[in-house]
């Protein structure tokens, strides 16, 4: 059940002592980097004068801009000690580059092995990795983790959907790593090929890399006949393997022996109590080549209150509700794209794809929501379609407080992405 019982179930008091010791070690390592040497000196922070975890508030934040502008000045070891680099997918702007030593790669693989073991992956499983290999951390991160655990790993990467299905059939794939929007899309390939995904030995899916709702998870679980586990991470902190769901599926355990978690009010930057949504701020506690301190992820989530029934002591993070920088302001109202998905995916008539276009007409914001409708419904007469359109408009209006223009389109007509889904097009 546990990969590393000692660390996973550690008493909170002991875990916090371990965190403090590792935080001080990490500060010592970070002082070797020109960037942090200067930053920490300016703030008057030394490993010695951090005497409790609360003292972390004295350490300055690190932002994506810092990583972009400082580049190799963040390295805490000579470049010759680095064995790999990755770059963030750059969903918001230019990519940032992350370097790893050999030990960093090994620690990262252990974290993913621990994460997948937690959900029930074991040697003997066949793991098909449909995440992008290359600069993106999702592919190689899980690849090394699955090998470390001892699962037979198929390094197929994303796309080429027919081949994905054939590989599953040929090798008896039992576990997949897949972007949730692609998992939904792949169902149409199964349908075209006349293969029922539920007839395959699939039993586990690791889904992550992009925000998705509980309804999307349920749709994936039902259509494939498996358990889908949410996986969270970001390249700035390693990549995937920062937080992962356990079989309880009630939030993602943040591996607190390797990451220090803060959830802060994005305005005041003060800590928030469990249950309140704020910005996730993370600090590496075990990285050697390029430790990152108090990284402002811009991801919004809450710590789940209470203990987890699985016995792990590491705190759980809620689903990521979106990023503070992808909040939309439409007619002065703040809207998060996940609110739109929540409304749409709760409706059985709606297919798995949608696209939101924002326009400005006569100085007015216009929100156009294009929604794919299930095959059966599209064959209905116009009256039914009109009623559905009204129903979706009303549901969106009640959630968002803005009235969108809803356009129903036929299934499989909106653009698809093999990587993170593109759901919002802002033409303003
Ligand atoms: P990258 O650094 O390119 O790997 O992208 C990391 C970002 O992807 C995170 O900061 C999140 O915004 C997003 N992300 C990763 N995993 C999840 C997840 N499980 N749910 C929601 N968003 C995620
Ligand atoms: Zn748990």
All structural domains of the chain, each given as residue ranges with its CATH number in brackets, are: 1-325 (3.40.50.12780), 327-426 (3.30.300.30)
CA torsion sign, 345 to 227 to 181 to 88?
A: positive
Q: Quick one: pLDDT at residue 363?
A: 79
The pLDDT, as a whole number, for residue 368 is: 94
> What's the confidence (pLDDT) of residue 94?
67
The token pair that represents 400 in the structure block: 């968002």
| Torsion sign (Cα): 169, 172, 177, 180 | positive
Task: Tell me how far the alpha carbon of residue 244 lies from the centroid of ligand 1, in angstroms.
Answer: 12
Q: Which ligand minimizes its atom distance to the CA of 244?
A: 1
Atom of ligand 1 at shortest distance to CA of 89? 3
The whole-angstrom distance between residue 166's C-alpha and the CA centroid of its chain comes to: 27
For ligand 1, mutation pick of 299, 324, 420 (most atoms within 8 Å of CB):
299
pLDDT of residue 166: 98
Q: How far is the CA of 175 from the centre of ligand 2 (A)?
A: 20
Low-confidence stretches of the chain (pLDDT beneath 50) = none
Q: Which residues surround ligand 2, an ion (CB under 5 A)?
A: 246, 248, 308, 310, 312
pTM: 0.89
- Atom in ligand 1 nearest the alpha carbon of residue 96: 2
Residue 254, pLDDT score: 98
Ligand 1 atom at minimum distance from 211 CA: 21
Residue 279: per-residue pLDDT: 97
pLDDT of residue 90: 57
- Quote the CA–CA distance of 101 and 288 in Å, as a whole number: 7
pLDDT value at residue 175: 98
pLDDT for position 226? 98
Which numbered atom of ligand 1 lies nearest the CA of 235? 2
Task: Answer for the pair 50, 24: CB distance below 8 angstroms, yes or no.
Answer: yes
Q: Is residue 213 in contact with ligand 1, taking CB distance under 6 Å?
A: no
Give yes or no for residue 210 CB within 6 A of ligand 1: yes
In the prediction, which pLDDT does 93 show? 59
Produce one character per residue of 138-167: b if its CB has 16 or more CB atoms within 10 Å, e if not: bbbbbbbbbbbbebbbbbbbbeebeebbeb
Let me know: does 408 contact 382? Beta carbons within 8 Å.
Answer: no
Say yes or no: CB of residue 238 within 6 Å of ligand 1: no
Q: Which of 179, 234, 254 to mutate to test ligand 1, by most ligand atoms within 8 A of the CB atom?
A: 234
For residue 323 and ligand 1, the question of a CB distance below 6 A is answered with yes
pLDDT of 326: 76
> 30 CA to middle of ligand 1, Å?
24
């Amino acid at each position: 059940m546990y990969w590393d019982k000692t660390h996973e179930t550690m008493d909170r008091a002991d875990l916090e002592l371990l965190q403090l010791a590792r935080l001080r070690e990490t500060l010592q390592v970070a002082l070797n980097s020109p960037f942090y040497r200067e930053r920490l000196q300016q703030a008057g922070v030394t490993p010695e004068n951090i005497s409790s975890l609360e003292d972390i508030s004295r350490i300055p934040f690190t932002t994506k801009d810092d990583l972009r502008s400082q580049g190799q000045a963040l390295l805490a070891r000579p470049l010759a000690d680095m064995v790999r680099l990755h770059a963030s997918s750059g969903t918001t702007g230019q990519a940032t580059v992350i370097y790893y030593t050999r030990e960093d790669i090994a620690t990262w693989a252990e974290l993913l092995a621990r994460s997948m073991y937690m959900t029930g992956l074991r040697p003997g499983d066949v793991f098909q990795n449909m995440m992008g290999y290359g600069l993106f951390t999702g592919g190689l991160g899980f690849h090394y983790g699955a090998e470390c655990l001892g699962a037979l790993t198929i390094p197929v990467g994303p796309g080429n959907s027919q081949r994905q299905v054939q590989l599953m059939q040929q090798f008896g794939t039992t576990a997949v790593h897949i972007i949730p929007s692609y998992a939904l899309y792949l169902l149409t390939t199964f349908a075209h090929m006349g293969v029922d995904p539920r007839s395959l030995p699939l039993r586990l899916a690791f889904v992550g890399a992009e925000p998705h709702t509980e309804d999307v998870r349920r749709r994936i679980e039902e259509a494939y006949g498996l358990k889908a586990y949410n996986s969270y991470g970001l390249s700035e902190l390693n990549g995937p393997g920062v937080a992962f769901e356990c079989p309880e599926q009630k939030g993602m355990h943040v591996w607190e022996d390797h990451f220090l978690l803060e959830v802060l009010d994005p305005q005041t930057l003060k800590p928030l109590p469990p249950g309140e949504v704020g910005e996730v701020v993370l600090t590496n506690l075990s990285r050697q080549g390029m430790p990152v301190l108090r990284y402002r992820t811009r991801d919004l989530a809450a710590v789940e209150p209470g203990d987890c029934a699985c016995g792990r002591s590491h705190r759980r993070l809620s689903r990521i509700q979106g990023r503070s920088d992808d909040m939309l302001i439409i007619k002065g109202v703040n809207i998060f794209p996940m609110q739109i998905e929540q409304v749409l995916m709760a409706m059985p008539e709606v297919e798995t794809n949608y696209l939101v276009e924002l326009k400005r007409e006569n100085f007015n914001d216009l929100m156009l929501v294009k929604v794919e409708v299930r095959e059966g419904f599209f064959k209905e007469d116009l009256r039914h379609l009109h009623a559905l359109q009204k129903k979706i408009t009303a549901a969106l209006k009640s959630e968002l407080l803005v009235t969108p223009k809803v356009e129903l389109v036929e299934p499989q007509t909106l653009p698809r992405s093999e990587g993170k889904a593109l759901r919002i097009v802002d033409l303003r």
